[in-house]
């Protein structure tokens, strides 16, 4: 008898919204980095996104989704958010602020919804992957379907982007 896959809060939110998605459990692998997760799942790292939480000079918080092999450009991120500057929050601030731990942060299901931006390259994929809200779990869905549960603004937010 096979064990039923574990549902995360992100998956329950997607189910309630009647959004089609695919879930993946890679917890049995040794994958740690986003690139390793993409490889373990046989997915393109360019379509696999990490979720980063920042704070602007105004003290407002922002969420940025960037491909796992890319780096957030803080100047471009600030420009996208209309801030003078943006800084990454400290890891210890992540759980109380979002309800997620480092490595398992998802744009869906945070304690409070913050303005969320995604690298513009996401528009070029039929589906994107990102954390399902728990280390070892990913969800895959279209950008349009993500937009049904979280308002996400595409923007040029990575270092060296050509978008």
Q: How far apart are CA 158 and CA 76, in angstroms?
A: 7
Residue 50 tokens read as 């990490």
Residue 14 tokens read as 């997607």
Q: Note the pLDDT of residue 32.
A: 83
Q: Note the pLDDT of residue 27.
A: 87
Please state the rounded mean pLDDT for residues 106-132: 97
Sorting pLDDT into bands at 50, 70 and 90, what band is 129?
very high
Q: How far apart are CA 158 and CA 6, in angstroms?
A: 33
Q: Note the pLDDT of residue 104.
A: 93
Closest Cα partner for 34 from 78, 72, 86?
Answer: 72
Task: Express each pLDDT in 22-70 by its tens digit.
Answer: 999 998 888 888 899 999 999 999 999 999 999 999 999 999 999 999 9
The structural domains of the chain, ordered by start, are 9-155 (3.90.960.10)
Largest CA distance in the chain: 56
Q: How far apart are CA 21 and CA 8, in angstroms?
A: 13
Closest Cα partner for 145 from 46, 18, 11, 7?
Answer: 18
pTM: 0.93
Output DSSP code: residue 92: H
Sorting pLDDT into bands at 50, 70 and 90, what band is 161?
low
Q: How far apart are CA 121 and CA 161, in angstroms?
A: 9
Q: Note the pLDDT of residue 5.
A: 59
CB distance 66 to 50 below 8 Å: yes
Residue 35 tokens read as 């690139």
């Amino acid at each position: 008898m096979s064990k039923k896959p574990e549902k995360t809060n992100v998956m329950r939110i997607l189910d309630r919204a009647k959004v089609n998605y695919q879930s993946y459990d890679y917890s049995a692998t040794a994958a740690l980095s986003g690139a390793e997760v993409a490889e373990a799942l046989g997915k393109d790292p360019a379509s696999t996104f990490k979720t980063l939480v920042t704070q602007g000079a105004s003290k407002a918080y922002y969420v940025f989704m960037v491909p796992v092999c890319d780096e957030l450009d803080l100047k471009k991120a600030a420009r996208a958010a209309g801030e003078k500057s943006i800084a990454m929050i400290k890891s210890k601030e992540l759980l109380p602020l979002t309800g997620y731990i480092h490595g398992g942060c998802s744009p869906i299901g945070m304690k409070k919804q913050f303005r969320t931006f995604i690298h513009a390259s996401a528009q070029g994929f039929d589906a994107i992957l990102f954390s399902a809200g728990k280390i070892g779990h990913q969800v895959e869905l279209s950008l349009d379907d993500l937009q049904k549960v979280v308002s996400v603004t595409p923007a040029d937010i990575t270092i060296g982007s050509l978008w």
